[in-house]
Structure 1
Amino acid sequence: MARKRKATFVDLPSSDCFDGHDDDELSLPLDSSDPDENDDSNYDDLVDSDDSFSLGHQSFNEALYKEYMKECSRLKSLKKKLLISLSHNVKKKKSDGRPKVGFSRFSVTTFCNVINSLSEDYKDVIRKYGFGSLLLFDKCSMPRNFVHWVARLVNYNSGDIVVDGKAISLTKEVVHLVLDLPFGGSPFPADYTAGKLYLLSRFGKDNVPPISFFSKALVSMKEMSDDDMFVCFIIIAMSTFLCPNSSVVPCHKFFGIFEDLDKIRSYDLCGYILSWWLEYIKLFN
């Protein structure tokens, strides 16, 4: 009867891939009996030929150790990818809810700086076009949370602010009473192409410049014609106060009023402003 030889074990250093476990040591057989003398081990499944096995048991265990370290490295890489994936899922869930803040290019600071930089002659031009009430704008601050609270109370279908069953109607007449701007006239031109081309040609641009371009032109007190100055002023008033959005470039929708500046007082500006407010309150809610 064949005599079985006791296997000898050697300690291998621990690997980072077993983080969180108590397995500080891993024992593997360094020497064992021949395959045909050990009923518990089937080396024929691990060794392809007698030539490869003739390298000796120690060489075989070195190859196994390298394979073990390779697997540890692979597991470590998988663990890192899993943690990154979980982190991305958590961030995505946090961003799925209602945004805590709203963002727009509304800027009372920019608008006030422009008003304060205007000469009396330029202010007279603005009054001549019927927008002198905007020069009376007084800078003030209002808590963002209060603004959001009011916006969420607006029924944008009826145009009412509803509080405890009571309604405060938002109409273009109310806008006129607050801002003293033209109302009740013709709607803004639906096709703003001609007004946009007029704007580009007047300022020598291929594309509509950002809002900052028009504000800097006025704050720097650069000499310009009355019409150019008025166009810059209206773009700033609309983009930073009356009808702001989230873009750094003025919205093209109201450019149709620039096609003929002599007709600008004939447009229903208050109606346009109210429609803009209700549309963006709808998007916000």
Structure 2
Amino acid sequence: MAEQARADFATKLSLRKFMATAQRVTLDQRQLARSMGLDHLLDLKCDTLPRGVVHYLASNFDVPSRAIELPNGFKFTITPYCIHQVLGIPLGGRTIEKKQNPALRSLIAQQKKCKGNYPTINELDNLIQPGLDGDSFKRIFTMYALTVLLCPSSHGAASPDYYHILEDPEQIGSFDFCTAVLDKLVASIDSYKAGATTVLGGDLLTLTIIYFEFLDTDIMPVTSKRPRISVWTSEIVAEYERRDCTSSDKLLYGRLPTKRVSETPFGQINRQPKVTLGASYDELLQFTLSIVPEENHQMVLDELPKIMHSMQSELFDSMQNRLRRFLVVATPACK
């Protein structure tokens, strides 16, 4: 009974609410979400969290190594790259540090007309209407996505720890959302396992999807689509949970055989990878991660943005020098 009660954790992850909000986002608003690298979140298809699986994975999660370690021998370390493969949100770039900006906090509270110190889930949800556009949409949608789906906490309100990334809406997409999501998930599991709280924060659905991607079944239609968020429907998630369960009280799992990591979206690409001129930063990043060892992924995440910035500066300088000849006005010959 104590174990059963322990499975009844609280969470502010609101899948059904986020899906309802996504359905009323306009095409113009989706373009704004795309400019921040957050548009794939709007393709969420699962509205129910498999709580038994979540409890099982959290209970068998090794916080120091950030790995799922199950009694049946399955072990897999979760990295920011895994988060990216599921959600498609920005990977690499500027670190989302947990720091507060009192001036920006006051400004947001005033502009969003929230009743408390921070906008709540419902207040943010009510603001996402067809007429919301520009920087206002970028700030509100980002806060909403972080609060409801990516980094939900126990408070049900937008965390001021993330306000600093909203200061310049044009730069929101330059932040490393994947690492922030993983950090929040690991910290939440750590607090839950230590008995400090009955709330499990963080993106628990992505944790579940990562595990389910390893299960060897015929349930999921064959597809190589990335990111994976759009293929995991409520029905498919429920069927995976049912087949993998080994107990009548839905607290123990690990019944299904597992695949090799190379057969999942998280392994290195077996086919010959290539990147073409005009590729986006996201495509270049995925290509680079696919050809370097996993232990060097963090180095890539740290260094690639610096390399790209340096290359862009060199390219701009070279273009300036070469284009100067087009700016010279020819002097008419004297008669």
- TM-score of the two chains, using structure 2 as the length reference: 0.52
Secondary structure of 2:158's match?
Answer: coil
Amino acid in structure 2 at the alignment position of 1:176 = H
Is 1:225 matched up with 2:133?
A: yes
User: What corresponds to 2:33 in structure 1?
Assistant: 126
Secondary structure of 1:161's match?
Answer: strand
Question: Residue 14 of structure 2 contacts residue 149 of structure 2 at CA under 8 Å; is this kept in 1?
Answer: yes
1:207 pairs, out of 114, 117, 120, with 117
Tell me the distance in 2 between the aligned counterparts of 1:190 and 1:100. 29
Amino acid in structure 2 at the alignment position of 1:207 = N
Question: Residue 7 of structure 2 contacts residue 51 of structure 2 at CA under 8 Å; is this kept in 1?
Answer: no
User: What corresponds to 1:171 in structure 2?
Assistant: 79
Would the alpha carbon gap of residues 182 and 243 (structure 1) be closer, same or farther in structure 2, given more than 3 Å must change? same
Once the two structures are superposed, residues 195-249 of structure 1 have per-residue CA deviations (whole angstroms, 9 ceiling, x without a partner) of: 424423433557323111010122xx26333211222212221111111122132
Greater relative CO, 1 or 2 (CA 8 Å, sep 6+): 2
- TM-score of the two chains, using structure 1 as the length reference: 0.61
Tell me the distance in 2 between the aligned counterparts of 1:244 and 1:203. 19
User: What corresponds to 2:263 in structure 1?
Assistant: none
Q: Give 1 or 2 for the bigger CA radius of gyration.
A: 1
Superposition CA RMSD, Å: 2.3
User: What corresponds to 2:275 in structure 1?
Assistant: none
Would the alpha carbon gap of residues 140 and 211 (structure 1) be closer, same or farther in structure 2, given more than 3 Å must change? closer
Tell me the distance in 1 between the aligned counterparts of 2:109 and 2:83. 31
Question: Residue 106 of structure 1 contacts residue 244 of structure 1 at CA under 8 Å; is this kept in 2?
Answer: yes
Runs of 4+ aligned residues of structure 1 deviating over 6 Å after TM superposition are: none
Question: Residue 13 of structure 2 contacts residue 148 of structure 2 at CA under 8 Å; is this kept in 1?
Answer: yes
Is 1:147 matched up with 2:50?
A: no
Once the two structures are superposed, residues 65-123 of structure 1 have per-residue CA deviations (whole angstroms, 9 ceiling, x without a partner) of: xxxxxxxxxxxxxxxxxxxxxxxxxxxxx99x973411121111110111011111111
Question: Residue 130 of structure 1 contacts residue 265 of structure 1 at CA under 8 Å; is this kept in 2?
Answer: yes
The number of residues matched between the two structures is 190
Shift of 1:174: 0.8
Amino acid in structure 1 at the alignment position of 2:173 = R
User: What corresponds to 1:88 in structure 2?
Assistant: none
Tell me the distance in 1 between the aligned counterparts of 2:122 and 2:104. 20
Question: Residue 124 of structure 2 contacts residue 144 of structure 2 at CA under 8 Å; is this kept in 1?
Answer: yes
User: What corresponds to 2:169 in structure 1?
Assistant: 261
User: What corresponds to 1:29 in structure 2?
Assistant: none
**Between 99-108 and 149-158, the greater mean CA deviation after superposition:** 99-108
Question: Residue 26 of structure 2 contacts residue 130 of structure 2 at CA under 8 Å; is this kept in 1?
Answer: no
2:151 pairs, out of 238, 243, 267, with 243
Would the alpha carbon gap of residues 189 and 143 (structure 1) be closer, same or farther in structure 2, given more than 3 Å must change? closer
Question: Residue 238 of structure 1 contacts residue 244 of structure 1 at CA under 8 Å; is this kept in 2?
Answer: yes
Tell me the distance in 2 between the aligned counterparts of 1:210 and 1:281. 23
Amino acid in structure 1 at the alignment position of 2:118 = V
1:116 pairs, out of 23, 29, 52, with 23
User: What corresponds to 1:272 in structure 2?
Assistant: 180
Question: Residue 95 of structure 2 contacts residue 176 of structure 2 at CA under 8 Å; is this kept in 1?
Answer: yes
Tell me the distance in 2 between the aligned counterparts of 1:120 and 1:172. 29
